[in-house]
Structure 1
Amino acid sequence: MTSQQPPVLERLPIPPLQDTLNRYIDRIEPLQDSKQNKRTRDVVFSPENLDNLSILHNKLLEYDSELAKENPYSSYIEQFWYDAYLLYDASVVLNVNPFFQLQDDPTLKDTNSRPTVTNNGPYGAHTMQIKRTSKLVTSMLKFIHQLRNGTLKPDTARGGVPLSMDQYNKLFGSARIPPGPGENSCHLQTDSSAHHVMVMYKQQFYWFDVLDINNNPLFKTPDELEWNLYSIIMDGNATSATENKLPFGVFTTESRRIWSNVRDYIYQADDRTNWKNLKLIDSALFVICLDDVAFDESVEGQDDLTTSMLCGTSKVNLDFKSTAAPLNIQSGTCLNRWYDKLQLIVTMNGKAGMNFEHTGVDGHTVLRLATDIYTDSILGFARGVTTNVLDIFKEDKPVLKLNIDNKKNKHNVITIPRKLEWQVDSFLLSSLHFAETKISDLISQYELVTLDFKGYGASHIKRQFKCSPDAFTQQIFQIAYYALYGKFETVYEPAMTKLFQNGRTEAIRSVTLPSKKFVKSIFDRNATDDERKQFLQDSCKEHSRITKECSVGLGQDRHLYALYSIWNELFKDSMPLPGIFQDKAWSVLNTTIISTSNCGNPCLKSFGFGPVTPNGFGIGYIIRDESITLVVSSKHRQTQRFVSLIEKSFMEIDHIFNRANGLDPIALDQDKAYLMRSRGMSGSLEKTNKSEDLRYLLSGYDYFDVSVTG
């Protein structure tokens, strides 16, 4: 099969400078008072600022023109984007890596129970875990095979418009490598010839080959893989707590500077064992994390599960009466991770998800992987019953083939798991200890709350509210925050720009003048429900308009960041920092208090990430036809209260529309009235401007006794 390149898409556009500045003013105006906005306008449109930005803009155009000649499969933002991630020095845990939790496998039973050693099944308490993992991994191998052999079905937008596929090259065999001596930046390293996976169980490492030299899966069915996983678990369980069970994965939770020092120490050692281990991990296709814990379906269980998927749990033995292990020993799942790579995580009762290093790939790319492997793993069961089943990975003509030099890659295939043994000394032991205590500290600083809102979903929003479900949900976040704090803060939502070559994302800034007008009307005793309905639809239309602009590369954040990067790299010593970057508005717009992302897909059960600022919230949400799931994170900023207000806000909008239409929400649909019933409310609501439920939004208080015009 001959190698071929994917089609070259249109390059990511660089908007006209004046258009970008106008959009910038539009995005920052809702977050300022009139005096602040006037100062910002004066700074942005001052002759000196415009002259300096024009110089930077022309240099950016020149840079992009040269880049297009050297590499057509590139974009003007690519290197600046990588630098933004790779120059980041703090831990990637909770700061960079997001997670996806897959829906449970309906073909496997008892995923909601806690397994015991008496469970029926060929692998005892680990039967569910092994079977779920084997199914997902064999589906991932099919995905990799098609990617590398040019037969992976290309991504398309509505109408069959092709999307950029370049991120898939960074999905497998990639690792975030800390800076070397004298370097300031991490590196994104990708081994496109990798053929092995790394398996972690009880913080121990095992590896084996899963592809042959032609990228054909060595394990064709899940059954063939199960024994490998079972033997790893049995070996891990046979290792006593006092033996060498060193959590080397905890180094990836450190700051890049400290992790860099540790790696350099390992590299300089005379014994090459540890360095060879690191190279094996770095080059692995991905990491399989088999966790020796299970989570039930209770609210607490789901919150613990999302914590485990996002950052790992921290569990320390402090029982002075216990003699099974030394006191203060960490046993949380945070030790069973390698955060510098793509990770597939599976619990003992078959709960599965992914945690991924974000530098080279965005959520849309990993979502495609999650969707394909989940669907294929489910359809695999049906294929055992009938042959008339859709095949997700049906071979087709090559679309994209990775260039892999197999001449230098001829190796003996190793399909039996091999365990990594580590050589330690006092420096490494103390470094591990302090890394473990720091990640425990970090995890304890955050909280995650999950909301499965079943009152309604996308169908009801479109039919009843006549709004885009995503735009509508963004308004809900603003209502809840305003109800709690009485003000508006910077909200971020990514718009995918994969319509263009090497497209990543553009920033949707959700707070607009129409959204403020709508949110304030909810708390205005003089506003009517008809006005609130109109304000909602106006704000959603504005959000959708901005989203469409951003998705075609006509936003403001990426362009301005590229201009700042050009100044920082080429003009720092010859040009003063342009006024726009010194103005307080620039800091306000780039200090995201509410960071959000919508990753809706039937295969996902939940999705989340940490807040991007110390005083912020992170909101990952999934909008389904009949429900909406959110995972909200913060550094203990009343997260549960905020989530509760989001839930109440969803219901309040439904009440507004029902009142305006003269309808009784309880008689409409029992499911949609569940929240009201849970509050002990019954009977018809009076058709008035005042909500029976507003007291919940305002913590028992009445309408805001403040001006709603400012």
Structure 2
Amino acid sequence: MAEAHQAVAFQFTVSPEGIDLQLSHVAFKEIYLSGVRSWKKKCNQLRNGFVTGVYPASPSSWLFMVTAILVTQYSRLDPSMGMIDKIKEHLPVSGYLSDQGMNILSAATFSTVLWLALIMTMRSILKMLLCYHGWMYEEHGKMSNTTKIWLALVKMFAGRKPMLYSYQASLPRLPVPALKDTMQKYLESIRPLTTDAEFQRMAALARDFEQTLGPRLQWYLKLKSWWASNYVSDWWEEYVYLRGRGPLMVNSNYYAMDFIYVTPTPVQAARAGNLVYAMMMYRRKLVQEEIKPMLIQGCLPMCSAQWERMFNTTRIPGMEGDSIQHLQDSRHIAVYHAGRFFRVLLYHNGRMLRPRELQAQFQSILGDPTPPSPGEEKLPALTAGERDPWARARNAFFQTGQNEQSLSIVEKAAFFVTLDTSEQGLREPNPGQSLDAYAKSLLHGRCCDRWFDKSFTLIVYRNGKSGLNAEHSWADAPIVGHLWEYCLATDAFTLGYDAYGNCKGDMDPNVPPPQKLQWEIPPECEAVIMQSFRVAYNLASDIDFHAFTFKDFGKGLIKKCRTSPDGFIQLALQLAHFRDKKKFCLTYEASMTRLFREGRTETVRSCTIESCNFVKAMMDPTQDDSARLHLFRVAAEKHQNLYRQAMTGAGIDRHLFCLYVVSKYLGLDSPFLREVLSEPWRLSTSQTPIQQLELFDLQNHPDYVSCGGGFGPVDDNGYGVSYIIVGEDLINFHVSCKVSSPETDAHRFGLNIRNAMTDIALLFKANKKFAARGDQ
């Protein structure tokens, strides 16, 4: 009960001898240190807000401006053309200052106004420059003079040493595509997937929509785009994620894996200690805005808004829709192990716990023999099942007493940690099967040992392997990937372990131990928990997963073939899918729109007329390799153009989605939009980017490569495919599908992917002269 005593700052007892006052110096010290930390944080936020608010200028430039104006004043020059004298006449403090003081104050006022005007001008110019995307359509290695001049201007106005959010005010808004263009691109995308009669019917629906209801809906969207920071993102978050009533597990949440070949330590508590410490270091950098904004070509900024809710964030279930609860700070994490919940404080004596101290905290939990209280063991299953039962249970059983307090600790934690009782990773005697099991474990676990509502759950296994499971509504995978890259690199190369696999450094033995959370789960609530568990268990049991490494070649060879690695892989997936199912399907590839403010994702429809022509040629034994290679190049170029359009706001799927939302707000029914939004994505794909190559030295440490991450299938009869391009010679794939579907098999599709990649590479080897000519 040590922590309970420390929670009371003073106690007093009234007796015949008087009042006996007992002060707790420890408690007062904690209160004092907490206050100091809070004020430091507020001061940092004010400072960061000011520095970001005046970017691309700097606070020191204001002093330079004031000094320069004052020097000209004393030189009897007036760069203000009389404005300083006008300001001097209207200053309300003329009766309190000398004439010299009035001169200085009026000059400083004029300098400040001029400085702010220059900042606004620089931001406006930078925003206009960032609206240009012609550079993206130029051939790699061949930059036009226009782009060179534009790039020089961007570097001139972009400023130096930006903080994480420095560019937010300078990013352009996402444009609303022309309705005519979206209709044309949509019809082009479905042409290879429909018969002539089906296409004519959809073309008629599209023409009718474009001429009647479409312009009205388009007007509302344009109005929103002028007013809102982003005309898509808030509706995307609400209707695609928060309004969803199905389980988050498998359907929405995704995962990230540890290193493939290396486990830095086999000591579970030590690995958890280092990783948690690395995450807290990352959070500190995030709060202080020291994380560098993502830049393309070293100077073109991408939106950083999604970083804001990485920590201290939980998705709260509701009856009609969920909500996102984000706190400015949290001083603890919630930990789950063997059916029990614990709170681990992250600070002691005003400082963050060291890795060795965190290891001791986790070791204490691992050694705690206390059994779970009734209903506690499978309590997290509430977050794995349907959302409405969880919302009703939360309102009925977690609003008072110990349940309310314990749930508040979980939901207000910086993040969630699961000390898993199983062992995972690439293990003998069957490495392939163990990697599949590892992926499934990260995706859904035992359905009752991850808090799927938290922004992310750190999972550390008994053998020291680790991974993340992330909730999707608050941000997309690259944001979580950036955190995970930092944590893996910091854990392995900065913090390290001693010869026994323990965390390095000293520890304070007076750090309070973890606090076990208490629950009072009534039988009615246990019934809801078990129902959610059964739903989640059935869903998890139906997931077939295949994670594998492709080592035959990587982006090094693909680039020598003068083609895009992503385009190469996407065409290989089209070929593999046709071989797998003997038909084409609507294909989703995720692309980012973070060149715009608050941008998230757009869809690249990878199944095109050109890709289908290439696949048909590959399946036709009468076609020669030269013709196939020609069709490959045409299809790859088409894919790259679609990817560029998606990145630059000219995609079609977010536009169609928002048109549909507007139609629902207006109470109007559109047969065209209703049919478009109901089309199934039988092949859903995503590339996991490596964003911080400087953190990993693959030449000296070639085994320290990540396996990337994955997600569940989007369609019951389809595949989900994630891939990560690592270094020059490795590509990792994650394939998911439903066991219950007679059409799919993850391992069969994985084999088809391998064969398709190899067969396309053979086209270039068989046509070296043809490939070298660039298909001219």
For the criterion TM > 0.5, the same-fold answer is yes
Aligned to 1:85: 241
Deviation at 1:17, TM superposition (A): 1.8
Work out whether residues 175 and 225 of structure 2, in 8 Å CA contact, stay in contact via their aligned partners in 1.
no
| Partner of residue 594 from structure 1, selected from 671, 683, 696 | 683
Alpha-carbon deviation of 1:107? Answer: 7.4
Does the 8 Å CA contact 2:339/2:449 hold for their aligned counterparts? yes
Would you say the 8 A contact 1:43–1:579 is kept in 2? yes
1:173 corresponds in structure 2 to 312
Question: Would you say how many aligned residue pairs link Structure 1 and Structure 2?
Answer: 575
Match of 1:218 in 2: 352
Structure having the higher Rg: 2
Code of the aligned partner of 1:305: Y
2:280 maps to 141
Question: Which whole-Å deviations, capped at 9, do the CAs of 1:475-517 have from their partners, x for residues lacking one?
Answer: 1111111112221001101111111110100000000111001
Q: Which amino acid in structure 2 is aligned with residue 283 of structure 1? A: K
Query: Residue 550 of structure 1: CA displacement?
Result: 0.4
Classify 1:384/1:300 alpha carbon distance in 2 versus 1 (closer, same or farther; 3 Å).
closer
Once residues 361 and 241 of structure 1 are traced to their aligned partners in structure 2, the CA distance between those partners, rounded to angstroms, is 33
Q: How many angstroms apart in 1 are the aligned matches of 2:379 and 2:388?
A: 16
Q: Does 1:441 align with 2:538?
A: yes
Q: Determine the C-alpha separation between the residues in 2 that align with 1:587 and 1:596.
A: 18
Looking at structure 2, the residues matched to 258 and 557 of structure 1 have their Cα atoms a distance apart, in angstroms, of 32
Task: Check the 8 A contact 2:543/2:738 in 1, yes or no.
Answer: yes
1:355 lines up with 2:469 in the alignment: yes
Higher relative contact order by CA 8 Å / sep ≥ 6: 1 or 2?
1
Report the identity percentage.
Answer: 26
SS of the residue corresponding to residue 604 of structure 1 reads coil
Q: How does 1:124-203 map to 2 (within 5 A)?
A: 128-179=267-318, 183-203=319-339
Aligned to 2:12: none
Provide closer, same or farther for how the CA distance between residues 662 and 541 of structure 1 changes in structure 2, counting only shifts above 3 A.
closer
Task: Identify which range, 26-35 or 356-365, moves more after superposition.
Answer: 26-35
1:218-367 aligned within 5 A = 218-219=352-353, 221-235=354-368, 238-240=369-371, 246-267=377-398, 271-295=400-424, 296-297=426-427, 298-312=431-445, 333-341=446-454, 342-367=456-481
Kindly report which structure 2 residues correspond to 1:630-709, keeping only aligned pairs within 5 A, or say none: 630-636=733-739, 637-661=744-768
Distance 2:365 2:598 in 1: 39
How far apart are residue 644 of structure 1 and its match? 1.1
Would you say the 8 A contact 2:712–2:737 is kept in 1? yes
Q: Secondary structure at the match of 1:633?
A: strand
Distance 1:263 1:107 in 2: 39
Stretch of structure 1 that moved more, 501-510 or 341-350 = 341-350
Quote how far apart the aligned CAs of 1:458 are: 0.8
The match for 2:142 is: none
Find the residue that maps to 1:164 and give its secondary structure.
coil
User: How big is each residue's C-alpha offset from its partner over 1:292-338, in whole Å with a ceiling of 9 and x where there is no partner?
Assistant: 111252222111111000111xxxxxxxxxxxxxxxxxxxx332110
Contact 2:588 2:681 in 1 (8 A): yes
Question: Structure 2 CA distance, aligned partners of 1:291 and 1:87?
Answer: 31
Q: What is the distance in 2 between the residues matched to 1:578 and 1:274?
A: 46
After superposition, the Cα gap between the structure-2 partners of 1:63 and 1:244, relative to the gap in structure 1 and judged at 3 Å, is: closer
SS of the residue aligned with 1:520? Answer: helix
Partner amino acid for 2:468?
Answer: M
Scaled by the length of structure 2, what TM-score is found?
Answer: 0.71
Q: Which residue of 1 aligns with 2:78?
A: none
CA 1:458–1:357: 2 relative to 1, 3 Å = same
Q: CA deviation at 1:587?
A: 3.1
- When the two chains are superposed, the root-mean-square deviation of aligned CA atoms in Å is 2.4
Q: In the aligned structure 2, how far is the partner of 1:165 from the partner of 1:105?
A: 32
CA distance in 2, matches of 1:532, 1:486: 19
Q: 1:422 to 1:384 in 2, by over 3 A?
A: closer
Deviation sequence 1:71-96 (CA, Å, 0-9, x none): xxx54432343322111101111100
Structure 1: which amino acid aligns with 2:250? L
Task: Between 534-543 and 653-662, report the one with greater CA deviation.
Answer: 653-662
Task: Give matches, 1:469-618, under 5 Å.
Answer: 469-569=565-665, 571-572=666-667, 575=668, 577-582=669-674, 584-588=675-679, 591-601=680-690, 604-618=706-720
**Cα distance, 1:422 vs. partner?**
0.8
Deviation at 1:585, TM superposition (A): 5.0
2:515 to 410, 415, 418: 418
**Structure 1 residues 209 and 239, CA, compared in 2 at 3 Å: closer, same or farther?**
closer
Partners of 1:586 and 1:173 in 2: CA distance = 34
SS in 2 for 1:507: strand
Give SS of 2:724's match.
Answer: strand
Kindly state the Cα deviation for residue 457 of structure 1 after the two structures are TM-superposed. 0.8
| 1:626 to 2:717 alignment | no
Supply the AA of the counterpart residue of 2:255.
F
**C-alpha distance in 2 between matches for 1:211 and 1:19:** 55
Shift in Å, 1:611: 0.6
- Cα distance in 2, alignment partners of residues 631 and 144 from structure 1: 29
Residue deviations 1:216-243 (CA, integer Å, cap 9, x gap) = 8612x321211001001111xx135897
| Alignment TM-score, normalising by the size of structure 1 | 0.77
1:416 to partner: Cα distance? 3.0
Q: Does structure 1 residue 458 correspond to structure 2 residue 555?
A: yes
How far apart, in 2, do the equivalents of 1:613 and 1:568 lie? 24
What's the counterpart of residue 175 of structure 2? 13
Identify the match of residue 376 of structure 1 among 487, 490, 511. Answer: 490
1:622, distance to aligned residue in structure 2 (A)? 1.1
Of the candidates 342, 345, 348, which is equivalent to residue 206 of structure 1?
Answer: 342
Describe the shift of the 1:334–1:65 C-alpha distance in structure 2 as closer, same or farther (beyond 3 A): same
Distance of aligned partners of 1:217 and 1:553 in 2 relative to their CA distance in 1, 3 Å threshold: farther
Deviation (angstroms), 1:596: 0.6
Per the TM alignment, residue 620 of structure 1 is displaced from its structure 2 partner at its CA by 1.1
TM-superposed deviation, 1:425 = 1.6
* Distance change >3 Å, CA 418–CA 651, structure 1 → 2: same
Change (3 A) 1:384 1:421: closer
The 1-side partners of 2:606 and 2:596 are apart by 23
* Cα-to-partner distance string for 1:81-125 (whole Å, 9 max, x where unaligned): 33221111011111000101021585725xxxxxxxxxxxxxxxx
Shift of 1:212: 7.5
Cα deviation for residue 211 of structure 1 reads 4.8
CA drift at 1:656: 2.9
CA distance in 2 between partners of 1:545 and 1:104 (Å): 34
How far apart are the structure 1 equivalents of 2:48 and 2:573? 48
The farther-off stretch of 1-10 and 258-267 is 1-10
